[in-house]
Chains A and B, each alone.
Chain A
Amino acid sequence: MSDSMQINRRDTLALVLSGFVAAALGGKVLAQDAKALSFWAVHTGTPELQAAMQTIINQFIKEKDGASVKFEAVNGALVYPKFLTAVQGQSMPDVADGYSYHPLQFAALDQMLPLDDIIAAWKSNGLLAQVVNEYAYKKFLWKDHYWAVPWNLDIRAIYYRKDLLEKAGVKPPTNWDEFQAAAIKLNDPANGTFGFVFPAGNFHIAQHYYMMFMLQAGGSILDKDGNLVFGTTSKDANVQALTYLTDFALKHKVTPEGIASYNTDEPHTLFIQGRAAFVTGTGGLISRLLKEAPDMVPNVGVLEVLQGPKAKLAAGFYNPLFVWKYSPNVELAKEFVTWLVQPGRLQPLYTAYPGNCWPILKSEFDSEVFKKTPLLAEVIQKVIPFTTDFAYPGTGIPQMGAIDGEKMFAAPVNEVIAGTKTPEQAVLDAHAKMAKLFT
């Protein structure tokens, strides 16, 4: 009895210890695999897009004999903690798609590999000229290096109900005054239809639409040299934009009264329910319309970017692909990035779930999906040519990641709508918060 117990104890201990050793060695072996890449993607958030991306990756694996790519779709809500944990734990993926200013933030921490050679190659082979906007790649230029390359475009637009406008005899507005007049005229509370619905909750999306009006008013966060001017030289324009936007709720009362809690989905849902004449929306609204309300699609239009007091611009989000500096496979990682952003390569993404992913290369717009799918062609014609980065007219700096991430200019929208601050005070307070990042 005693002998058998001793054997069992040894066995148990040996099992525990060998488990630890195997786990440790296993991790080491994986990390040293010279042809294995890990790839995290943030902008493939639906099963359709994930399957399409996997198909594209399988093609790469087939072409690069012996290579393997472990693809992981990262949940949008977990992007920041996941990347931060990976940086701290030195377990970053070899290649990643993240939010706008992630690569610069990580570059500031000496974690990113410069991708100057890819940009140089794009310049010589003409691909750079195909990129939708020069700020799409210039935003990644910091300290004389490109820390990422753009691969996907995330749009913000204003959609409208063609039938309601026609019925009221209103033409699609082209400037601020016309837009305001149209939203007021189409507001029909008796029939449950709002003139204009936009999100004003304390969420990132609220600042994306404020950016649009801010740029149109001639405002900005940075000047062309990268100095913070949100509450200084750009203050008047930024206050003007904030006043214009929030007046729809506070003065003209053409929005739902509860927009101070709205995130992305609420305006989309109200529009699909037929309860909004104009609505701010991402490309995801097109996806939802095609899937949930296809009968409504012929009655929906995409508004051409408005001519503001100073400019005709909208915020576009040029999503980055970046390579971890300490990847054991930097050459293969760069090869993967170069391979991925090629004409025609990402078409499966655009057809899998139309509206969610948008090309960064203009030549992609000639494909069937963009010509034949309703609303997509309108976005290409009326929105994308006017997009720019939200650091405009400056180029990228790591602080923009924190400004965007901490919703520093969503707060002004939320605070003014909630009635706790005037537009001027909200802009000045937001500036003071941002200024802390620059001192």
Chain B
Amino acid sequence: MALTRRARFAYMLVLPSLLLLTMLNLFPLAQGTIASLQRQNMTRPNPYEFVGLAHYAEALFSEGSFWSSLLKTCIWTIGSVSGAYVLGLALALLLNLDIRGRNLFRALFLVPWVIPDVVTALVWKWLYNDEYGVINFLLRQLHVINSPVHWLSDLNLAMPSVILAQIWKLYPLMTVVLLAALQNVPKELHEAASLDGARPWQRFFYVTLPLIRTTSVSITLLTGIWTFQSFDLVYLLTGGGPADATQILPTFIYQKAFFTLDLGYASALGLLMLLIILAISSLYLFVSRPSRVQA
């Protein structure tokens, strides 16, 4: 089955991009895999000594920080994505209504999405400050609190606080994507359900949700992967503290790679993280695959 000249030419044009992608993805992955099997600790002699699976064994069986960081990463990811999904869906439902200024609201809701992550972190750090932050100031003015709430320094509040900042960052994308999905739901179905006596919540759960399910799966999976490996917001807001309460895997790996200069160990952690993301993604896709009846 010979390729036509046109197809060959198309492949030739695609080749540079393919090479570039290979260089930027497969090559680092291969390098990381090799590094994970070597000592690669920049503070010690013989950095290229082969150590086999020692780094993986250390992470999984002797370094307790890996498991606690993984747990915190899961809490961080699930909290952020589910919060952003609920908020995004609520706003998408509102914007799907025929309300005045709808286009203006659509534009305004996108603002958090276009703000760079570092700026987002700095803004939230200021908002959360216990002594001169805006949130505590407003709560005091409204007589909701008498003494400052320690959003980022309280062991129990630090994680919810960084999750809230991440929700703020993620919800615009959720809103836009879900709004697009909602606009594809045929109005006739809602009308038919109404004629059959379905109440609004029944129309939502039995008509709307099933029809935006594929989009919901895609966007939550995508934002879930982004959040699982996101680093800058947590790093800048809390540095992983207080007392490691927000030490998620990306900040833990960053610390091991760039501060301890233990590249071998950090590479092993990175690959474990990749495997976890792959496993979660596969499981999620399997569980949320369209049923035979729907197909």
A interface residues, Cβ below 8 angstroms from B: 9, 12-13, 16, 20, 80-81, 84, 87-88, 105-106, 108-109, 201-203, 256-263, 266, 269-270, 273, 275, 398-399, 401-402, 405-407, 411, 414-415, 417-421, 437
Min C-beta distance of B234 to chain A, whole Å: 11
List 10 A-B pairs, Cβ < 8 Å: A81-B257, A84-B263, A108-B45, A202-B244, A261-B128, A261-B242, A398-B43, A405-B258, A407-B255, A417-B153
State which residues 231-263 of B face A: CB under 8 Å. 238-245, 255-263
Chain A residues closer than 8 Å to B129, beta-carbon distance: 258, 266
Do A399 and B245 have beta carbons less than 8 Å apart? no
Do B153 and A202 have beta carbons less than 8 Å apart? no
From known contacts A108-B42, A407-B259, infer whether A256 and B238 are also in contact, taking CB-CB under 8 Å.
Answer: no
Do B150 and A263 have beta carbons less than 8 Å apart? no
Inter-chain CB contacts under 8 Å: number: 126
Do A406 and B153 have beta carbons less than 8 Å apart? no
Do B259 and A263 have beta carbons less than 8 Å apart? no
Min C-beta distance of B190 to chain A, whole Å: 48
Interface segment out of the listed B9-17, B99-107, B172-180, B216-224: B9-17
From known contacts A256-B130, A402-B259, A437-B43, infer whether A261 and B243 are also in contact, taking CB-CB under 8 Å.
Answer: no
From known contacts A84-B261, A108-B43, infer whether A257 and B148 are also in contact, taking CB-CB under 8 Å.
Answer: yes
From known contacts A258-B131, A258-B152, A266-B129, infer whether A414 and B257 are also in contact, taking CB-CB under 8 Å.
Answer: no
Known: A88-B263, A419-B155, A421-B243. 14 other contacts (CB 8 A): A12-B13, A80-B259, A106-B42, A202-B241, A256-B148, A258-B129, A258-B152, A260-B153, A261-B130, A261-B238, A266-B129, A398-B43, A402-B260, A402-B262
Do B43 and A399 have beta carbons less than 8 Å apart? yes
Do B261 and A405 have beta carbons less than 8 Å apart? yes
Do A261 and B150 have beta carbons less than 8 Å apart? yes
- How many B residues touch A, CB cutoff 8 Å? 39
Chain A residues closer than 8 Å to B240, beta-carbon distance: 202
Do A16 and B16 have beta carbons less than 8 Å apart? yes
A259 to chain B: closest residue by CB: B153
Do A84 and B245 have beta carbons less than 8 Å apart? no
Chain B residues closer than 8 Å to A81, beta-carbon distance: 257-258
Min C-beta distance of B262 to chain A, whole Å: 8
A interface footprint on B148-185 (CB within 8 Å = 1, 0 otherwise): 10111101001000000000000000000000000000
Do A406 and B150 have beta carbons less than 8 Å apart? no
Do B259 and A261 have beta carbons less than 8 Å apart? no
Do B260 and A258 have beta carbons less than 8 Å apart? no
Do A257 and B238 have beta carbons less than 8 Å apart? no
User: Is B47 in contact with chain A by the CB < 8 A criterion?
Assistant: yes
Tell me the bound Cα distance from A263 to B47 in angstroms: 34
Tell me the bound Cα distance from A401 to B13 in angstroms: 47
Do B238 and A258 have beta carbons less than 8 Å apart? no
Do B153 and A105 have beta carbons less than 8 Å apart? no
Q: Which of A13, A260, A414, A420 has the most CB of B within 10 A?
A: A260
Chain A residues closer than 8 Å to B259, beta-carbon distance: 80, 402, 405-407
Chain B residues closer than 8 Å to A259, beta-carbon distance: 153
Min C-beta distance of B213 to chain A, whole Å: 40
A405 to chain B: closest residue by CB: B259
Tell me the bound Cα distance from A401 to B153 in angstroms: 27
